[in-house]
Structure formats: C-alpha cells, structure tokens
Amino acid sequence: MATSFIRTPRQYEQDCHILHSYFSGNVGAISNKEVVGIFVNRDSNALKLIRQTYSHWYGQDLLQFVSNVQRNNSFARIAYLRMVEPYERDAQLMTHSLFGGSLNLNTLIEVACTRPSSELLQIKHCYQTQYKSDLEKDLTMKINGGFKEILVAVLRSCRNYGSKVDMSLAMCDAKTLYEALESGKNIDQRTIISVLSRRNNGQVRAILSSYKQLYGHELSKSVKRSKCGQFGKELQVVIRCIQHPEKFFAKQLRMKNADGREILIRTVVTRSRIDIKGINKAFATKTGSSLENLVVREFGSSKNKNNDIVVGILVGLIKGG
C-alpha cells in the first residue's frame, strides 16, 4: 500500500541516503528491505519529492541516472518506471515501438487501448513536445492494414475524454455497430471506425457492454466470422484489449517473447494499484500459477543481490494491488 501520511524532509533524506548508498556500491550500509520499501511503499508524489531531495543533496538527477543504466539493469528499469511521469513513459514506449527497430504492435495496442482517454491526450501532447512529431501521423506512416485505422481512431477518441458515460448513447451505438456488422454482405468498416473515433475508451466499454446485453454475445465474437476478414481479426484484438485489459496483459505474460522480462516488469509496475490483481487472476486461470511465481522463476534463481531486490519490489507491487 502507498504511504498515506505526509513524510517529513528528514524521511526523504533517509530514502535518498539509502538509494545513494546502493548506487554508489556501498551496499553493506543498507538492507534489501530498505531499498524495496522505497519502490513498493512510496506513491508517485513521494517519489517526485525523493528525486528533488536527491538532486539537492547529491547534485544528480536520479531519474536521469537510472535512465542511463536501465537497459541492462532490471532494478534500474523498475526504478525508472516507478519515477517517470506516466505520460512521458508511454510517449517513449510509443516512439520506441514505432522506430526502435522492428514494429512492436503489441506495445502500441497496450498503450492506446489500456490507458484512459485523459492520459492518451497527455501522451499525445508529450510525444509532440519530446519528439517534434505527431503520434497519429507516425502511426499512419508505420502501420498497415486495419490496425492503422483502428488505432488512429482510438487515439483520436481521446479528444472526448471529459465526457461522462452515457448508457442511452451506448445502446444506440451498439445498435449502429450491429447494423454495420450484420446488414450487408460485407461489414461497414467506415461506420465502425467512426464510432471508435468519436467515443472515449470509457464510452466504448459501455457500448461493448450494451452490445452483449442487446444481442446475447460480445461484439468480439461477431467479428470472428469470415466475412469480417483480416479487419475483423484486428478489430477483435483491439476491442478485447479495451474491454478486458487484464486478459490482454495476462496473455502477453504467457507468451514466450525475447523481451519477456521487460513485459513482466512493465506490466507489474504500470498496472500496480490499477488492475494487477485482475491480471494475476487471469494469468492464474490460464496457467495454474501466479505472477509472484513467474517473478521468482525469472529473477529468483540468481544469487545476485540486485535480483533479490527486483523480486522483492515486483512481488510487493503485486501483493499491494
């Protein structure tokens, strides 16, 4: 659980002393438990103040330091993800997924479809500021097929982030989508894209719930049929991610990817205090094992003290929910 009381400057100084001792190699002066506690128990505001205090006392930007070494250091990667602003983190994930080598569709879907629309708007603004480019245009340039239209529509929908969920409107949109899928020989892709681009993620979830209520099955099952083609398969992936993000993350964690450790770290850190318990449940339903066990399998076999801290933080964040 995040600390709920106001920590005094002296307490922040103690946290900074622990981190400075660790990063300076003076690990004999501190315990694993002290390091773990900082990244499990401090909320985002506390971590900001720790960064400020660290800079004051040691003349170094702590976030920049861990950023420089995070590529081959799992603990530094966790520390970075815990301290960086979420919208800055996600803008980085987007540009790396688009231009970091091979296209990483799964991460693009993860960010676009599991973040609230208000956060998507911040991500787009940060992307524009940091990389002097437009995220929607870059997606259009780098992605082909249905995913291009679908993901751009989801990003555009964030303009309506302040709108409250309207169940009457959701019912109307559910009927519109049903007609788009059922009325002709081919599905009406333009109408589907139009709905996705005009409704924020919260409203889309209400539409999907209304669709099941009206027609007795989820929309994702309707788009599996042959007449929906490749567009239907790609739409299904996006819809399922919006509707059931915990299942999307659990599936990513079950896949044998070269970047499996990165996916595990990023999922636990970014979804802690959001839906990590649901992800853990979905993962256990499919595998018969828990995320805690997965963390131990990935990082617990080494005698490396750094890995002991990694295990402690990740397990702590999972248990803390």
- Binding site residue list: 23, 25, 28, 296, 298
CA distance linking residue 34 with residue 15, whole number of Å = 8
Q: Name the phi and psi angles at 254, rounded to 5.
A: -80, -20
∠ Cα 207 104 69 (to 5°)? 120
Residue 289 amino acid letter: S
Residue ranges for the binding site for Ca(2+)?
23, 25, 28, 296, 298
Angle at which helices 32-41 and 9-23 cross, to 10°: 120
Determine which helix (DSSP H) or strand (DSSP E) holds 60, and give its type and residue range.
none
- The first and second tokens of residue 86, run together, are 């979420």
142 HSE (CA, 13 A, CB side): 21
CA distance linking residue 195 with residue 162, whole number of Å = 17
- The first and second tokens of residue 101, run together, are 């080598």
Burial of 173 (0-12, 13-18, 19+ CB in 10 A): buried
CA distance linking residue 191 with residue 103, whole number of Å = 28
